[in-house]
Chain A
Amino acid sequence: MKFGVAVYPGSNCDYDTYRVIRDVLKEDVQLIDYRRTDIDHYDCIILPGGFSFGDYLRPGTLASHTPLTGAIKDFAKKGKLVIGICNGFQILTEAHLLPGALMPNIHGKFVCRHQYLRVENADTPFTNQCEEGQILKIPIAHHDGNYFVDEDTLRKMEDNGQIILRYCDEFGNITEEANPNGSIRNIAGVSNEKKNVFGLMPHPERASESILGTEDGLYILRSILEYHS
C-alpha cells in the first residue's frame, strides 16, 4: 500500500507519521510538499498534526487553500482514503471535506495527555480492526480540539454512523469529566458521508510502539491496510 504524508509549513508530526508507516507498518510512504498536486498514485493521504502556517487566521485555514489540499479534495471525491490527525483534522474541516469546526478548548488550555476513546462505528475503512464499543488509549495534544457542529448536521451524522470516536473514561463511559476539550457529545473523530475521509484529534502515530506506552493507534492504521487489501 502506498501512503503519502502531507507536509505543510508548520506540520510537526509529519516525520513521526512517516516513520511509523515505514518502520512499524513496513509500508511504502512518501512525504508530499504542500505545493504539489500529483498524488493520484497514492492509496491513502495522511494530513499530520502540527501548526500548519502557524495556525494563522484559524487552525487549518491557510493549509486548506494550498495546491496540495486542492488535489486532496479531488482525491477524496474519487473515494480514496484521507485521514487527518489533529491539525490534519482541522485542515479537513476548513477544506469542507468534513462537517463541523474545531474551536479553542473550552478551558482555554493546551491539553496533552493519554486519552481513552470509545469506538462508535467499527464498520469503516479506519476502524474495521476494532470492535464497536472498544476502548482505545491514544494521546491527545491540542489547543483547538473542541468539535462543534450544528444540531441538524449532527443528527444526520449520527444516523449515518459518521461519529467514529468519542472521548470516554477508562470504562468506556461518555462523561463530561472524560471530555478533555468541550467537544459536542464528546466527539473525538468523525468521517464524511462516504466514510473515506476521517478526522480525529488523537494521535495514532504516537501510540504505535510499546515503548511509548500504548499501541492502540495501530488498530486504526492496520484497519486502513485491511480495507485496502
Chain B
Amino acid sequence: MLIKFFIKPRKGVLDPQGRAVSENLRSLGFDNVKDVKVGKYIEVYLEEKNKEKAVEQAKEMAKKALVNELIEDYEFEVVED
C-alpha cells in the first residue's frame, strides 16, 4: 500500500512562503491569484495488504510524527502501489 499525505499550513495560520509565492505569481502577470498555500507531500510505502489497517496507521503516523495539528492541516489517501 502507498499512503499519500498532503500537508498544508492550517487555515488562519500565516504562511510566509505561500504569501511570497503568491506575490511572485502576481508579479508574473497572474493577476487573478487570490492566495497560495505551500505545504508538503509525503509518500509512505507500507508492507500491508489490508487497506483499513493502512488507514488506521496513516492516522497514527500523522498524529505521532508527520503533522503538527496545532499549525498544520492534512489529508491522506491510501492506494495500492
Contacts and interface: CB of A to CB of B under 8 A. Distances in A.
A150 B71 CA distance: 10
Interface string B27-49: 00000000000000000000000
B65 A104 contact: no
A57 B16 contact: no
A50 interface: no
12 contacts: A61-B65, A61-B68, A65-B65, A100-B70, A101-B71, A103-B13, A104-B16, A104-B17, A105-B16, A108-B16, A108-B19, A148-B71
A220 B8 CA distance: 37
Contact of A101 (B19, B65, B68): B68
B16 A94 contact: no
Chain B interface category by residue count:
10 to 19
Contact of A148 (B13, B17, B20, B65): B13
Contacts of B14: 103, 106, 146, 182
Interface of A: 57-58, 61, 65, 94, 100-101, 103-108, 146, 148-150, 182
Nearest to B71: A101
Nearest to A182: B14
Given A108-B20, A150-B70, A57 B65 contact: yes
Contacts of B13: 103, 148
B23 to A, nearest CB: 11
B68 A94 contact: yes
B70 A107 contact: no
A108 B16 CA distance: 6
B66 interface: yes
B16 A101 contact: no
Interface string B50-81: 00000000000000011010110000000000
